[in-house]
Amino acid sequence: MDHFLPQTDSELKEMFFKIGVKDFSELLSTIPQKILLKSDLDLPPAMSEAEVLAHLKKISRKNRSEDSHICFMGGGAYDHFIPAAVDAIISRSEFYTAYTPYQAEVSQGTLQAIYEYQSMISALTGMDAANASHYDGATAMAEAMYLVCNQTRRDKVLVSEGVHPHYREVMATYAHASGIEIETIPLSEGITSTDISKESLGSSAAIMIQSPNFFGFIEDVPVFAEMAHDNKALLAVSVDPVSLGLLEAPGNQGADIVTGEGQAFGNALNFGGPYLGIFAVSKKLTRKLPGRIIGATTDNQGRRGFVMTLQTREQHIRRDKATSNICTNQSLCALAACVALELLGEEGVREMANLCLQKAHYLAEEIGKIDGFEIPYNKPFFKEFPVKYSGDVNKLLKLLTLKGFIVGPDLGQFDDSWRDQFLVAATEKRTREEMDKLLEILKTSV
């Protein structure tokens, strides 16, 4: 078997002799003895390849996913329809194995796809420019925090409590390392309070909100845009891009930066990732836009071509001058979103958004009629909404899982004041039959 192993015993002895040690254990002399393993690992008997595959499949069946359950899960990741053409295109080797398109002359297909993605995101958000994506919606919003502070030379931001708790945790991590102060704007009846002191506004780089917010409610973007701009601050809005099929684009409402999670377009739930961070800005901030940007140009023969441009990344310029430390992008996820948007078209996105809206409102209205359940706030919402339950929320969600439904999350895990509430989302995939079946289970759960 020696010829299947990286080194033979004789080769190991030769290497130990060369570096002046007796055996491998001497290389571990700096590690405290109390944390070293003194016995063999307790491993089961070896298996054949077929046995290993069967064993792993058995373990995988413990997972609950949209393939095995009906998904009404909200909170930032959603079960949307993905056309078969998306996977077919992104699985092509020229896209699937491609990495950074530094050599424009041999990367025109990848560069064009990214350019088209950026163009569609700009049109959807109403902004002047978009980059070639971030890791996810959370990191995009955290990078937006960096941008507003660099642009205004202020080291504090006002962040709505209606921003996803995970996003706010990521922002807090970024802020801690950068000396940025985060002041939280509380919610009032499910939406962001406009009662912000003049002092806070005057010392902050930006107001940062999410609309639809974490509860699914639609925020009054123009009001916050006016408040920010009157105090020489910026407005950054995190969005659900599907909602923009119906709602006015934030760029048309005064937003300076629009970020968001693009998973809904062409990207599967994937148990939490990889996802797609959207980032778009107004013209005045284009040169501060972090990440990778693709531009259209012409060559020396007048033919249209695509190149990487405005490369203000730490790989390309002095580290202290970089707008971001992002070292790569999510180009395959961006390509999936690009293909999905191309297939849907403007009318398709509008229809997708309208189906989400109508189904979510039907479900909310019917849940509100069930004893023990209440829709706590009478606010406009898009495709998800909070439900207040008189019993044990955690037990209810577990019961629903046993009945074949994925619902939630339990909002109590994020804030004690939300412990009697959970989120429900209805996408265009959910049928009347599925919704009515969920309602029947809820009626018998009280």
Residue 95 pLDDT level (bands cut at 50, 70, 90): confident
Report d(CA 409, CA 398) in Å as an integer.
Answer: 11
The 10 Å CB-count burial string (b at 16+, else e) for 329-355 is bbbbbbbbbbbbbbbbeeeebeebbeb
Please name each of the domains of the chain with its CATH number.
1-34 (no CATH), 70-80+345-443 (3.90.1150.10), 84-340 (3.40.640.10)
Phi, psi (rounded to 5 degrees) for 294: -110, 135
Greater pLDDT, 98 or 172: 172
Q: Are 140 and 134 in contact (CB under 8 A)?
A: yes
Label residue 170 exposed, middle or buried (CB < 10 Å: 0-12, 13-18, 19+).
buried
Residue 327 pLDDT level (bands cut at 50, 70, 90): low
How do residues 120-153 score in pLDDT, each as one tens digit? 999 999 999 999 888 999 999 999 999 999 999 9
Report d(CA 309, CA 137) in Å as an integer.
Answer: 23
DSSP structure string for 305-373: EEEEE---BTTTS-GGG-SB------HHHHHHHHHHHHHHHHHHHHHHHHHHHHHHHHHHHHHTTSTTE
Report the percentage of the chain scoring pLDDT > 90: 76
- The CA radius of gyration of the chain, in Å to the nearest whole number, is 26
Residue 325 pLDDT level (bands cut at 50, 70, 90): low
Question: pTM here?
Answer: 0.88
How do residues 167-177 score in pLDDT, each as one tens digit? 999 999 999 98
Give mean pLDDT, residues 196-205: 97
Residue 379 pLDDT level (bands cut at 50, 70, 90): very high
pLDDT at 315: 56
Q: Are 375 and 446 in contact (CB under 8 A)?
A: no
Identify the three-state secondary structure at position 134: strand
Residue 37 pLDDT level (bands cut at 50, 70, 90): confident
Report d(CA 232, CA 341) in Å as an integer.
Answer: 35
- Look at residue 317 and tell me whether its pLDDT is greater than 80: no
- Mean pLDDT score of the chain: 92
Phi, psi (rounded to 5 degrees) for 279: -150, 115
Nearest to 439 by CA among 356, 371, 382: 371
How do residues 202-246 score in pLDDT, each as one tens digit? 999 999 999 999 999 999 999 999 999 999 999 999 999 999 999
pLDDT at 314: 52
pLDDT at 115: 95
- Look at residue 17 and tell me whether its pLDDT is greater than 50: yes
Residue 1 pLDDT level (bands cut at 50, 70, 90): very low
Nearest to 416 by CA among 398, 393, 442, 397: 393
- Look at residue 179 and tell me whether its pLDDT is greater than 80: yes
- Look at residue 323 and tell me whether its pLDDT is greater than 80: no
Greater pLDDT, 7 or 51: 51
